[in-house]
Amino acid sequence: MPTKSAETDAHRGDWIETRGVHGQAPRRGEIIEVLGRERHERYRVRWDEQHESIVYPADGVIVGPGPGRRGRGGGKRAAP
């Protein structure tokens, strides 16, 4: 799955995974809204544990295509 960069674009329904803080597992969620403008976007994410937060693309943030979308290089969808 590609790391989020200026060359990839996330869409509502795509999956996101963030690196875990020391000693914790990575977090996974679904992008429910893309906010901001190109190259300054951020995402409203509904995490697996059902709470929502805003995520800014950064190192350790991976975006994968949601159902019905194909990512670059045949990336896989993160399991919910």
What is the rounded average pLDDT of the residues 34-45?
90
Q: What percent of the chain has pLDDT over 70?
A: 75
Task: Say if strands 15-18 and 61-64 run parallel, antiparallel, or are unpaired.
Answer: antiparallel
Determine the residue type at 53.
Answer: S
Determine the residue type at 5.
Answer: S
Regarding predicted confidence, which is higher, 76 or 54?
A: 54
Determine the residue type at 43.
Answer: Y
What would the pLDDT profile of 47-66 be if each residue is shown by its tens digit? 998 899 999 888 888 999 88
Q: What pairs with residue 79 in β-bridges?
A: none
Burial of 21 (0-12, 13-18, 19+ CB in 10 A): exposed
Decide if pLDDT at 25 tops 80.
Answer: yes
Do residues 1 and 62 make contact, with C-beta atoms less than 8 angstroms apart? yes
